[in-house]
Amino acid sequence: MTRIKNAFTAADGSRKKAFIPFITCGDPTVGTTEKAILAMVAAGADLVEIGIPFSDPTAEGPVIQEANIRALAGGVTTDDAFDLVARLREDGVEIPLVFMTYANVVYSYGVGRFAARGAQVGLDGVILPDVPFEEKAEFDEPLAAAGLELVSLIAPTSHDRVRQIAAASKGFVYCVSSLGVTGVRTNITTDIGAMVELVREATDVPCAVGFGISTPEQAAAMAAKSDGAIVGSAIVRILAEHGEDTMPYVEEYVRAMAQATHAA
C-alpha cells in the first residue's frame, strides 16, 4: 500500500476521510515551513501538499500568489523544497508529502531528474494543475517509473471527461469545488456529490475536494460527500499574519479542520 492510499485507509481497511492542508515552501522562510508542517502533522493532518514557489501560479488566488512572490523574493528554489522533504522524513514524518507546482518548474529542473530526486528524498506525489489530461504522459511516465504518483484534477467544467480522467488517476483525485482560482469562499455551490459519483463510477481511487474550503463546517460538508477536504489559502493567510510565530495558530486551525473532516 502506498503512503497516499494509506492516508485514506482506516486501521480496519475501510475508507476513511483525509484532511489535506497546503503550504507554500519558504513563506516566510523554509525553516518556518518545516516547523508549520510538523505542527500540522501533530494536529492530525493526513497528507500535506507543499507548494514549490513559481512566478506565474495560474491556479492560485491572491493569497497564495503573494506567498509565492515572498518565497521567491527570499531566494527559495526547487532544491530547497526537495531538501525540506528530506528533513521532514528525518524528523520522523511518515504521512504522504506531495508537491503542488507547475509544468515549467518540473521542465526547468528536468522531468527525469525531478522524479529521481523526489524518490530519493521520500516524496509521494506531484500535482500539476496546468497540465491537461491529454498531455500528462510526459510527466506521469517518468514520475511513475520513480514510484511517484501524479494526482489528477477534475473541475466543474470537466463534464464528460470526468470518468476518463478518473479512470487513469493515481494517488487521489483532486476535485476542484469551484470555478476560478484558489481562495476562501463563503459558499460552495458546485454539486460536489454529482462530481464524486462520476469519479466513483470510474475508479476506487479516493477523491478529495479543494478550492474555497476554510471553515470546519465547509470541511465536514465536503468530506461527507467525498473522501477528504483540502485547504490552502486559509492556512497561507495564517502564516502571512503571524510569520515566525505562527505554529500555535496553524496547529489550532488544522486540529479543528482535521477533526471536522474525520467526523464527517
**pLDDT of 91:** 95
Mean pLDDT of 89-116: 97
DSSP helix/strand/coil, 102: coil
DSSP helix/strand/coil, 2: coil
Q: Is the pLDDT of residue 262 over 90?
A: yes
Q: Name the E strands within 15-55.
A: 18-24, 48-51
Q: Is the pLDDT of residue 177 over 90?
A: no
Mean pLDDT of 62-85: 96
Q: Are 20 and 208 in contact (CB under 8 A)?
A: yes
Q: What is the pLDDT of residues 190-218, one digit of tens each?
A: 678 888 888 899 999 999 999 889 999 99
Distance CA 18, CA 182 (A): 19
* Run of H or E including 199: helix 192-202
Q: What is the pLDDT of residues 6-53, one digit of tens each?
A: 999 999 999 999 999 999 999 999 999 999 999 999 999 999 999 999
Q: Name the E strands within the chain.
A: 18-24, 48-51, 97-100, 125-127, 149-154, 173-176, 207-210, 228-231
Q: Are 239 and 250 in contact (CB under 8 A)?
A: yes
**pLDDT of 161:** 85
Residue 207, strand partner residues: 173
Distance CA 6, CA 137 (A): 25
Domain segments of the chain: what residues? 19-258
Q: What is the pLDDT of residues 163-175, one digit of tens each?
A: 899 999 999 999 9
pTM of the shown model: 0.93
Cell of residue 161, nine digits:
471527461
Q: What DSSP state is assigned to residue 15? A: B
Smallest CA-to-CA distance from 195 within 206, 207, 205 is with 207
Q: Any idea which fold 19-258 has?
A: TIM Barrel (3.20.20)
Q: Is the pLDDT of residue 187 over 70?
A: no
**pLDDT of 60:** 75
Cell of residue 235, nine digits:
492556512
Q: Are 71 and 25 in contact (CB under 8 A)?
A: yes
Alpha-carbon Rg of the chain, whole angstroms? 17
Q: What is the pLDDT of residues 131-165, one digit of tens each?
A: 989 899 999 999 999 999 999 999 877 767 888 99
Residue 151, strand partner residues: 127
